[in-house]
């Protein structure tokens, strides 16, 4: 707010800074930062299994079927193909048959690490296209089986 002390005064206008809008803006910014700061630090820590290879694409046209049963057994077209060492069993079977397209069907109770291990062996064995078999859901959210 500007004002004169006296009409005959030569000091001129005195200017004062109105700090009320500045304080209002700073308080609004403080509240915004206080609300958003906790959202920036939330997250999940997940230990993901390691796998080497390139990305896999969708399978089509008479693919081989690889099944991972609930007990962890691996089957290639209903033939047992894996135990502890998947590279020697499943990998050699895939290379011998020259499988380029495959469908992966895994039980929902199979651990994620087991599925990734099978995917890694498939990728290193030369499987170029992959389709994941899933169970379709009803409209109410339940599975059909």
- pLDDT (tens place) for every residue of the chain, 145 residues total: 555 555 555 555 667 778 888 999 999 999 999 988 877 765 545 444 454 544 444 434 678 888 888 888 888 888 888 777 888 888 888 888 888 898 888 888 888 888 899 999 999 998 888 888 776 666 655 555 5
* 0.85 exceeded by pTM: no
For residue 69, is it within any domain?
yes
For residue 116, is it within any domain?
yes
Q: Which domain holds residue 114?
A: 64-132
For residue 128, give the nearest of 62, 81, 50, 58 by alpha carbon.
58
- Residue 132, beta-bridge partner list: 104
The number of domains in the chain is 1
For residue 20, is it within any domain?
no
Structure tokens at 50: 């390691």
Alpha carbon distance 55, 41 (integer Å): 30
Contacts of 22 (CB under 8 A, 6+ apart): none
Alpha carbon distance 117, 135 (integer Å): 22
CATH number (domain holding residue 85): 3.30.420.270
- Residue 135, beta-bridge partner list: none
């Amino acid at each position: 707010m500007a004002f004169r002390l006296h009409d005959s005064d030569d000091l001129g206008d005195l200017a004062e800074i109105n700090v009320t809008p500045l304080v209002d803006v700073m308080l609004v910014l403080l509240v915004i930062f206080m609300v958003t700061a906790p959202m920036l630090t939330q997250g999940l820590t997940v230990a993901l299994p390691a796998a080497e290879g390139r990305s896999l694409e969708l399978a089509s046209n008479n693919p081989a079927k690889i099944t991972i049963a609930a007990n962890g057994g691996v089957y290639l077209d209903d033939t047992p193909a894996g135990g502890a060492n998947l590279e020697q069993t499943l990998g050699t079977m895939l290379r011998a048959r020259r499988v380029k397209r495959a469908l992966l069907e895994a039980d929902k109770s199979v651990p994620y690490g087991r599925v990734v291990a099978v995917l890694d062996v498939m990728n290193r064995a030369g499987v170029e296209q992959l389709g994941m078999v899933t169970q379709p859901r009803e409209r109410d959210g339940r599975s059909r089986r």
